[in-house]
């Protein structure tokens, strides 16, 4: 199983956390011995790793679901003018009424 590669945001957040937390811990603890400094550095690295791993990663979009329902062809059919005699007569009557008035 291949591990996912870290994103730029994970690198940036992790690095900033390591630098700033190491600086803050060294100032607050006033560590002067080698063991104390090593402990602060390890704690800063662990904190930076924790922050980098909690940054949300980009998720790929799920593939569209294919439906197995067969598609029906839609045919747009219009009735022929001969099939609609009522409408033709109505148009003729309306034309006659306009001519008479």
Q: How far apart are CA 13 and CA 35, in angstroms?
A: 26
* Whole-number Cα distances in Å, 69 to 74, 75, 76: 15, 18, 21
To 10 degrees, what angle do helices 8-29 and 34-54 make? 150
Q: What is the pLDDT of residues 1-53, one digit of tens each?
A: 667 777 888 888 888 888 888 888 888 888 888 888 888 889 888 888 888 88
pTM of the model: 0.49
Residue ranges per domain, the chain? Answer: 8-54
């Amino acid at each position: 199983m291949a591990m996912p590669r870290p994103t730029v945001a994970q690198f940036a957040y992790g690095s900033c956390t390591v630098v700033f937390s190491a600086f803050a811990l060294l100032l607050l603890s006033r560590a002067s011995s080698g063991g104390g400094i090593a402990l602060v550095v390890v704690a800063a690295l662990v904190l930076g790793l924790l922050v980098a791993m909690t940054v949300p990663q980009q998720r790929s979009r799920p593939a569209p679901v294919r439906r197995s329902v067969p598609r029906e062809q839609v045919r747009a059919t219009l009735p022929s003018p001969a099939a609609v005699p009522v409408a033709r007569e109505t148009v003729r009557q309306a034309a006659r009424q306009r001519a008479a008035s």
